[in-house]
Amino acid sequence: MLTGQKVRLVLWRTGADGDGSVIVVRGMVTSESETILKVEGRLYQQVPDESGDTIERPIGTENKPLIIPLATVRYGEVIESDSPAEELDRKIRLLKPLGKGEIRKIGGLT
């Protein structure tokens, strides 16, 4: 159903008591089952920008195969072509990746 779709998946917060980082996966679903999604994409982390708004910044510099257990997905969206979500996706993909010192290392995802 989602195979071949471009998606944005927001995962549950990492860390104790939900105080950790919000991790986002952006990419193309390559396969799916009842319990997992395989996505060719990148991990992003929600971080505050200079104005205090939350933005997504890439953790890595390139796409890679990711296996996402469905139990870790808080919510997701399909990114339709020629939509405002696709325009935002393009802009976010061009952002400079977070440096090692900027990544909040709570939980097992980063």
In the chain, the domains with their CATH numbers are 6-93 (2.30.30.100)
- For residue 80, the SS3 value is coil
**Mean pLDDT, the chain, integer:** 86
Per-residue model confidence (pLDDT) at position 20: 67
Q: Which residues of the chain have pLDDT under 70?
A: 13-20, 104-110
75: left (phi over 0), alpha (psi -120 to 50) or beta: beta
Tell me how far apart the alpha carbons of residues 90 and 72 are, in angstroms, rounded to a whole number.
25
Tokens of 79: 């990114």
Tell me how far apart the alpha carbons of residues 71 and 36 are, in angstroms, rounded to a whole number.
8
Per-residue model confidence (pLDDT) at position 103: 77
Per-residue model confidence (pLDDT) at position 110: 43
Per-residue model confidence (pLDDT) at position 14: 62
pTM above 0.85, yes or no: no
Determine the residue type at 39. V
